[in-house]
Structure 1
Amino acid sequence: MSLAETHVLMIATDGFEESELMKPRQALLDAGVKVTLASLKTDPIQGEVQGKPGATITPDITVEDVDSDDYDALVLPGGVGNPDKLRMDDTTVGLVQEFFDDGKTVAAICHAPWLLVEADVLDGKRATGWPSVRTDMENAGADVVDEEVVVDGNLITSRNPDDIPAFVDAIKQALTQALETADE
């Protein structure tokens, strides 16, 4: 089995934390995973590095054109503005719910759990995130802990850019497990 058989959707918009999109994306591509970046539009989106302008990247598709059946997992990078804008978009929130309800891996880092709160998928789940979003997560029913990566069923969460290696490893492990389960 090969991760080349898997397809991951990433969703981001302006204000994404550069390392939280670029590093997991590149690590997954290096592992052979097909990665598609969706956004609210297909114009280049602006990243940030600790609140200052960072790199831009051009999305492959709009969230409106995403068919969740085409993907094995959803990865949500953080940054303050990125998930704050995306949680106001019904299509994006609906996709998070759809991936989660279909039992597909949903991975969120840093401020991205705001999307999990909005999608109402945290109740009863063990999770982590950036300190300023943890109260929102608790209010949504999550058991919030301070660990570099937390896996609870099909949900993967991490706290910050320092956690990216563990975050990516958990995503790759979840994709591998999904492949093994599909082959049974």
Structure 2
Amino acid sequence: MRVPRAGSWPRAATGAAGLVLVLAGCGSGPEGGDGPADTDASQSPTAPGSSSPTGEPESTPTVAPATGRVLKVKGMRVNAPEGWETTMRVAVGHGSFPPGQVGTTAGVVRFPNSGLFTIEEIADEEVADLGRGGKRLDDLEIDGTQVYHLVWTDEKGVEVERFATIAADQRVALVFTFANGESRAEKDEIIESMLATMQLG
């Protein structure tokens, strides 16, 4: 079954995260919907590891879980890195970004699934939409749920990584955009710290 190309979901999701940033500006006040309880990372699940070809999980990342403000949409919530600014939360997404930088972001986005498609059907369609230079890396298992990992270059100097699944009958994703020449180690630290706090459902 082919998933309808509703504006090319991977790029549309990235666009939605960007739209959240534009709509909300740089504020992170009460309108973000995150009260004091939402900043507690202590209830975060164990940091996930990617699956090996044998099905055994690889070693758990040693990066400490992120302790910043909570980003959430229906079906997914994660903590942003400590000190990152957050956007106003809207139904389709909630974003964050390092203070004083433009272009680098991390955010959660969602799109209703309505029981129509499986995780594999959506993942296969998204990989096809990415074209040359985009690929699917090893899946993760978080909260007992398969999470697939896509990477691509949106434009010169802008790299995108996306961790997506279906939760609460929503197509949900944690999307990272790196546009400030971050090293692989710097990207991995940000990504792993946020994945370690991901909660689904």
Higher strand fraction: Structure 1 or Structure 2? 2
- Give the TM-score normalised by the residue count of structure 2: 0.26
Q: Which has the larger radius of gyration?
A: 2
Higher helix fraction: Structure 1 or Structure 2? 1
